[in-house]
Amino acid sequence: MSPATLVRTPAADESPLDEAGAAPAAAVKRYAIEARGLTRAFGKGALKTPVLKGIDLLVEEGEIALVMGPSGSGKSTLLAAVSGLTRPDGGKVIVLGEDLWSLSRGKIDRFRLRNCGFIFQGFNLFAALTAMQQIQTVLKYVGLKKAERKAVAMETLVAVGLDHRLHNRPDKLSGGEKQRVAIARALAKKPRLIFADEPTSALDGENGRIIMELLRKSAKEQGATVLCVTHDVRLAQYADRIITIEDGRITSTNADPASFHH
């Protein structure tokens, strides 16, 4: 392996130069996610509590970015603000070149349907549906024809190692298997953006590792951008870049993974 292949992904605020000192064309940064000055408070009057205190966040296309911070630091609120779930009080979110919060609610929903996959701690699967049906349902909303829905659902479940679980409902699946169904459901429509909120915290260490490697591999193969928020320090090793958040503020945009010992 040449030393060049070991060079880490440059941080957003660095401008990499090639050996001749010229900026290569590929160095022109394209951000999949660009958030500026995000603020959000909860409560009213004297009880009003700021939760996001002016957050800037840049994630490059194809990057797997991890936002790490303690419980209550604002991670879920931040993820909701950049993914079109909850409107921030202030600031701007540009995703895939769209000024997200300037769009109508309907346009935001269509944008999310077309471009975003979501993975949550609690899996959020439908109790009455088999693994195949969970995914076929999503693909129906995206507009795929019936035969195509079946083929894609099967292919995606096989890719996450669930070929033996295609027709099982959630109550017959382990936690790790449920999360793999949820990942397959998020990836099946080949979204350009994947948002994950504590995707491994209901899982043991081994299943957490499988989930992160799967997410990483699938995203790299599909060229998707992944924004994952977590308080689980064990996930540090799977990210291209670690961003840290504390009490509603970003404290580092490129933290050293080795600093997260467990």
Question: Binding residues for ligand ADP, per CB under 6 A?
Answer: 42, 51, 69, 71-77
Rounded CA-CA distance 188/177 in Å is: 16
Q: How far apart are CA 31 and CA 33, in angstroms?
A: 5
Q: Which residues, at least 6 apart from 52, have a Cβ–Cβ distance to it below 8 Å?
A: 38, 39, 40, 74, 77, 78, 81, 88, 91, 248
Residue 136: which of Mg ion, ligand ADP, none does it interact with, CB under 5 to 8 A by kind? none
Look at residue 74 and give the partner it binds from Mg ion, ligand ADP, none, a contact being a CB closer than 5 to 8 Å depending on partner kind: ligand ADP
Q: Which of ligand ADP, Mg ion, none does residue 42 bind (CB under 5 to 8 Å by kind)?
A: ligand ADP
Q: Nearest distance from residue 204's CB to ligand ADP, in Å?
A: 21
Cβ of residue 31: shortest distance to ligand ADP, in angstroms?
A: 22
Q: Which is nearer to ligand ADP, 16 or 72 (CB)?
A: 72
188, 130 Cβ separation under 8 angstroms: no
**Contact partner, 77, from ligand ADP, Mg ion, none, Cβ < 5-8 Å per class:** ligand ADP
Rank residues 76 and 115 by Cβ distance to ligand ADP and give the closer one.
76
Tokens 């600093």 sit on residue: 259
In the complex, what is the shortest distance from the CB of residue 181 to ligand ADP, in angstroms, rounded to a whole number? 23
Quick one: 68 or 187, whose CB is closer to ligand ADP? 68
Q: Which residue, 73 or 179, has its beta carbon nearer to ligand ADP? A: 73
Closest CB to ligand ADP among residues 60, 232: 232
Distant-in-sequence, close-in-space partners of 143: CB < 8 Å, separation ≥ 6: none
Give the one entry of ligand ADP, Mg ion, none that residue 112 binds, where binding means its C-beta sits below a cut-off of 5 to 8 angstroms depending on kind: none
* Residues 206, 217 contacting (CB under 8 angstroms): no
- Residue 225 near which of Mg ion, ligand ADP, none (CB within 5-8 Å, type-dependent): none
Asked whether the beta carbons of 93 and 172 are under 8 A apart, the reply is: no
Q: Which is nearer to ligand ADP, 74 or 170 (CB)?
A: 74
Give whichever of 38 and 51 is closer to ligand ADP, judged by the CB atom: 51
Grouping H, G, I as helix, E, B as strand and the rest as coil, residue 36 is: strand
Quote the tokens at residue 255: 């933290």
Q: How far is the CB of 39 from ligand ADP (least distance, A)?
A: 13
Q: How far is the CB of 119 from ligand ADP (least distance, A)?
A: 15
Instruction: Write down the least CB distance from residue 76 to ligand ADP, Å.
Output: 3
Q: How many other C-beta atoms can be found within 10 angstroms of the C-beta atom of residue 177?
A: 20
- Strands in 249-252's sheet, in edge-to-edge order, are 116-120, 193-197, 225-230, 64-68, 241-246, 249-252
Q: Which residues bind to Mg ion, rule: CB under 5 A?
A: 75-76
Are 104 and 112 within 8 A, CB to CB?
no
- Contact yes or no for 249/78 (Cβ under 8 A): no
Minimal distance, residue 41 CB to ligand ADP, in Å: 9
